[in-house]
Amino acid sequence: MTKPTVLITGASSGIGATYADRFAHRGHDLVLVARDKARLESLATRLSGEAGVAVDILQADLTNLDDLRAVETRLADDRRIGILINNAGASLGGTFVDQTTNDIGRLIALNATAVARLAAAVAKRFASEGKGAIVNISSVVGLAPEFGSTVYGATKAFVTFLSQGLDLELGPKGVYVQAVLPAATRTEIWQRAGKDINTIPGLMEVDDLVDAALVGFDRGELITIPPLPDHGQWETYQEARKAMRSGFGEARPAARYRTSG
């Protein structure tokens, strides 16, 4: 059987480039999306030569609406594409009060809006075909406001929730959805946010991160957290969340809110 083509955003370096390498060596043709055309061309030449697969490049800035629409169109119309790796993302240095509203807007556009729109562009086709996979790169920061990355963490919490919701909607229609939640990983995201990578403890290497994520992919996991030693902790977290649902349907405020003081 012909293996599905994989479209990867943020593919010019780091996690995206490593996903491209791994899927190419699994025999998948690729569509690589990023802003840096020269890097994309270099990666495409290497992977097509090493793995003998077809590699298309699509230069796009996903915060630019015209570029984003071009990628959406490719996802919707190219029936060879059966896997979307929603990887493109960025971070911001400083605290919320230090960050400009324009920078915050661009971060949300890239980390959240583009992820949702690209998933939406392909979901209808995948559901009608009864197959396909959407992999969204989230972050453990979305589970930990204590880490202090307020807007970045909020966008990643959105990505995780989006993935869980998509799984409920699309899973019964044959579409696989995975959210990958890395912790600190050795990529260029740190330098671009103005942070010294040498001051960050416990960095996971990109190869290790992607290889672990692909183990989760092959197992059909919805949530993959490569650095978490005890998956039971995630399951306990989920059970605690679900236990609250019975209280969400009450017609009156809880007793603790019906008294003053």
Output the six-digit token pair for 52. 């003998």
Residue 26 has pLDDT above 90, yes or no: yes
Give the per-residue pLDDT at 194. 64
Mean pLDDT of the chain: 94
Mean of pLDDT values over 75-79? 98
Residue 152 known to be catalytic: yes
Q: pLDDT, tens digit, for every residue of 195-241?
A: 677 777 778 899 999 999 999 999 999 999 999 999 999 999 999 99
- For residue 203, the model assigns a pLDDT of 86
What value does the mean pLDDT take over residues 54-69?
98
Residue 164's domain spans which residues? 5-257
Q: How many domains does the chain have?
A: 1
Mean pLDDT of 12-24: 96
pLDDT tens-digit readout, 113-147: 999 999 999 999 999 999 999 999 999 999 999 98
Q: Which one from 152, 176, 237, 257 is the annotated catalytic residue?
A: 152
pLDDT exceeds 90 at position 254: yes
Residue-wise pLDDT tens digits, 156-184: 999 999 999 999 999 999 999 999 999 88
Q: Report the CATH number at residue 149.
A: 3.40.50.720
